[in-house]
Chain A
């Protein structure tokens, strides 16, 4: 009996400090809600896969977004004049006149007329070599490079060309640019929607897993209530547990997505010599995502982990409120 009094007395007077040191192993603090390991592993795997997919969607969208800005600015800074050959006229004179007219237009920084040989070489990839181009009416191109930020007005130039050189036409690529923009924006929009759907799917998976864990741990939850745990405390315990699971899963998924991007970057770089590589590069730039891409992937991983934790907490609160 006196021992207990001693215990009580020591409790109220000196809770800590002068006591003999206690073994550190006492600080085990295992999670209060055991999420059974099989279910936990399955959820972590689902989250890893979903994060992987979301990261690929987001990375792809980011790739398209950044390379389309580049395309657009490149293309928009060039205007071409095309001159179709006309047997009644000297095409060389027409080209020279067109260059002269273009030079008078404010905002044009540089003109580059393709010579006959150059124009023919441009066609080679499509028509092959060993063809006699003298038989073909090969049109001639003049590329006008515009000053940066300049938005020249081409109506006068267009009018002058039409009056003086039949068979000349001016293409300011506006149609192309707008088509490219639409395409790029569509791809980006689809990517964003896919990411949102994947996050939603992750949230639903967490809801089910939490409900399963709650049902499987009914006894634990009851005992926690009886020893004085509030619903909020229990919900926080579940949140902590699921946040860790989610973080583990999403890090694996994001890591896999980054590893895949890096690998693809290497592969495309080694392909660069080949025509397929050229086309891929034309479409995706150098196929390496910049720091923005990495940031997006890491943000998605964190978002997935946060969603996992918060959704499980809300699910627990709903569950506890619904069950008296």
Chain B
């Protein structure tokens, strides 16, 4: 196994994500999350869980900087992000892979183009990534669906396309929101193995789920949200 990530992340590397007393509300509503203080270490693997509506998606959106905290401090890759510039934001996002709960595939692009999108927006030549995109698509079982537009895909196929899109850049941080919600248990296991493999290569993985059968397959840290607060099961 390639081990170059281990050198990159020395023991004292800053946490990939660090929250300090973070609270957030939507508009004038009640605080959805409050007093969150936690870190996600480089190379770590954790589940994020809690009942529906507990704020798992909201927490991931905070990390993505799609939602700004109403109070508290967030740092990503060791940098405080409260006054982050647009360019720095773009750089941070290029280090993250996201699987959205609702997939967010672009309906006017084929599966192949959707998966290649993160590379394309970095200005890479198509010839330089074509083979690896095709390989990854085959691996997630979409080898014969790559020229199809997303509206034609089944829920599980869309999910796999969304996962492939998040993995293609081999991010430093993977955020996956219910990545196995639409697939059968055996495919869920296969996808989980994919995340484990990615983690072994150095990526910090956060999987939001309320699927206990999935979490029981792996004895890792669990971030549990309830009543807007975070409780950590090491």
Binding site for B on A (CB under 8 A): 1, 3-5, 7-12, 15-16, 19, 22, 25-30, 32, 34, 219-220, 222-231, 233
Contact = CB atoms under 8 A, between A and B. Distances in A.
Given A22-B134, A34-B108, 6 more contacts: A3-B139, A15-B132, A30-B108, A30-B109, A32-B106, A233-B121
A219 B108 contact: no
Interface in B2-57: 2
B135 interface: yes
A226 B64 contact: yes
Nearest to B146: A26
B131 A10 contact: yes
A7 B121 contact: no
Sort A-B residue pairs by CB-CB distance and give the 6 closest, nearest first: A229-B121, A228-B94, A227-B118, A34-B108, A7-B135, A230-B90
Contact of B106 (A12, A22, A220, A233): A220
A51 B131 CA distance: 45
Interface stretch (B152-160, B193-201, B207-215, B221-229): B193-201
A10 B129 CA distance: 11
Given A8-B201, A228-B94, A26 B121 contact: no
B94 A7 contact: no
B98 interface: yes
B90 A228 contact: yes
A236 to B, nearest CB: 10
Contacts of B108: 30, 34
Contact of B147 (A25, A220, A231): A25
Contacts of A10: 131-132, 135
Interface in B107-133: 108-110, 112-113, 117-118, 120-123, 126-132
Given A30-B108, A226-B66, A9 B93 contact: no
B130 A22 contact: yes
A228 to B, nearest CB: 4
Contacts of A22: 130-131, 134
Interface of B: 1-2, 64, 66, 86-87, 90, 93-94, 98, 104, 106, 108-110, 112-113, 117-118, 120-123, 126-132, 134-136, 139, 146-147, 165, 169-170, 193-194, 197-198, 201
B87 A230 contact: yes
A222 B126 CA distance: 22
A9 B2 CA distance: 8
B165 A28 contact: no
Contacts of B128: 15-16
Contacts of B139: 3-4, 7
Nearest to A321: B86
A7 B132 contact: yes
Contacts of A19: 131
A225 B93 contact: yes
Contacts of A34: 108
Given A16-B131, A228-B90, A223 B136 contact: no
B202 to A, nearest CB: 11
- Of residues B66, B118, B132, which shows the largest number of chain A Cβ atoms within 10 Å of its Cβ? B132
A229 B66 contact: no
A30 B213 CA distance: 40
B112 A26 contact: yes
Nearest to A14: B131
Contacts of A12: 2
Nearest to B147: A25
A176 B109 CA distance: 67
A29 B117 CA distance: 10
A224 B121 contact: yes
B61 to A, nearest CB: 10
A319 to B, nearest CB: 13
Given A29-B113, A30-B108, A223-B106, A8 B2 contact: yes
B171 to A, nearest CB: 9
A3 B120 CA distance: 24
Contact of A16 (B106, B118, B127, B169): B127
A11 B132 contact: yes
B233 to A, nearest CB: 26
20 contacts: A1-B193, A3-B139, A4-B197, A5-B197, A7-B135, A9-B2, A11-B132, A15-B129, A22-B134, A26-B126, A28-B147, A30-B113, A32-B121, A219-B104, A223-B104, A226-B66, A226-B104, A227-B121, A230-B87, A230-B121
A227 B194 contact: no
Contacts of A29: 113, 126
Nearest to B112: A26
Nearest to A17: B131
B77 to A, nearest CB: 14
A225 B90 CA distance: 7
